[in-house]
Structure 1
Amino acid sequence: MATQPIYDLATETLVAPKPVRRHLAIVPDAGNYDELERTAPGIASRGVHPATLGLLVGVYAAMLLTFWTFFARDAATALVLTVVSVFMILYFGLIAGGIVLSDTPAPGEPLRSFSEFIKGPVDILTGTITGREAAIQMLFLPACMAVLATIIGIIARVS
């Protein structure tokens, strides 16, 4: 039987095979996620306060609650709202993942309070704005959408 391989079970010949390179990797393996987290000195004093991001998620959650309260009348609408809810959860999951992997304060760097954030500077791509302006830019459109969803829902219930 010359075609059968001969196995040598000696310890010096039991070497792991050379890894085979895959032909196509759609999503590369990131390995250790700690390497993706970057320490950015000064980000705690010039970045967006986490409470603002919490308010943003809260406004979208209020809008979603408004949709369910006013528009979930039958099974077809509930199915559509379920799909919308899943997309919103995925959207904010991606935002949360981006926040976790984004620049983090240096160890021991104190995080400023929300009132200091509102009065203080925030670095953006084109320069610096106040925290108040940053919060308005982040929260104004979702808050308007939540208010309009409530108004439309009330009109739909009344008519």
Structure 2
Amino acid sequence: MAASTETDTKPFSVLFVCLGNICRSPAAEGVFTDLVKKRGLDSKFKIDSAGTINYHEGNPADPRMRASSKSRGIVITSLSRPIRSSDFVDFDLSLAMDNQNRGGNLETLCLRMLIRRFWIYLKMLVNHCLIAYWQRKKTSRKKENEIKCQLVTSLALVPSL
């Protein structure tokens, strides 16, 4: 008897991404959802769409696209939302609808999210090390402030993302 694994229960998650999340990505989400439902695989997938900008956030998909989809038997009900940094962790696959949104937007957003996380962890590590150093060396208050100023100055030189 085989043991149940996480992949047996966790659905495969797919995120479709375009610029505003009102045309291409909701259409792709709707078509893929329709295909999955027709094959009885609803429980095996988590499907969503997002945009690389937040200009249309909360708006329904473009009415022309919804009408075109409806004429093909696919109802689009999603509301536009911008991509979130958590999407890079929560989704197994993110599909950009074109090269501009893949290279210029999606990859840049992912890279920025990773760099931000790296700096957060680095700041935590440096802070932890400094506290340990001060406790071990019983550093004077003046020396402690000098070290803090050096740290803040060096971290301020990191380009903002």
Q: Structure 1-normalised TM-score?
A: 0.30
Q: Looking at both structures, which has the greater relative contact order when contacts are Cα pairs under 8 Å and sequence separation is at least 6? A: 1
| Structure exhibiting the larger radius of gyration computed from Cα positions | 1
